[in-house]
Amino acid sequence: MASASQWLVTAPVLETERLRLRGHRVEDFAHCAAMWSDPQVTRFIRPQPFTQEEVWARLLRYVGHWTLLGFGFWLVEEKHTGDFMGEAGFANYKRGIEPLGDMPEIGWVLAAHAHGKGYATEAVGAVVAWGDQHFGAAATACIIDQQNLASIRIAEKHGYRAQQIVSYKGEALMLYVREAVGKFEWRGGSLSR
């Protein structure tokens, strides 16, 4: 009989000029809980910040995505200091939103101290490049609150285009889709073929 460790798929490490993206660990919980409980961070995600219980379930869901689906979210840290910056990656949340369906859904969130410094753009670039290598010709998507202008700019910079307004938990959100039209490589501030 195979052990659980034989089935465990972990996130590969991705590196950019300033960042390291790696799989989540149990010891990351305190940083994740602090970020997700910050109203400044969650204001475009939902009305109330997340509880510790909800963040713990999120952390377990990240590991489960990698194990069951072969993709998931990475923890984002500053490469030279190891400081926690946030999270970014792909998921399949089974939201029941059409036309999202089972398209891999990209997402990103940064701790308040990391806002406005280009870290999200850099992290999303690495995640998109990884997705292009692993999802082939499959499109990827994201849903964004229409007032979250910073996230909209990041999505558009990486090739996501507004498709339609969708409803999720009573909120009207914009669905952005990125068609995979070839292999791309992240080059610091832009994607190139």
Condensed to tens digits (0 to 9), the pLDDT of residues 104-135 reads 999 999 999 999 999 999 999 999 999 999 99
Provide the 8-state DSSP code for 28.
Answer: G
Q: Is the dihedral of CA 192, 103, 177, 85 positive or negative?
A: negative
**Domains of the chain with bracketed CATH:** 4-136 (3.40.630.30)
pLDDT tens digits, residue range 34-48?
999 999 999 999 989
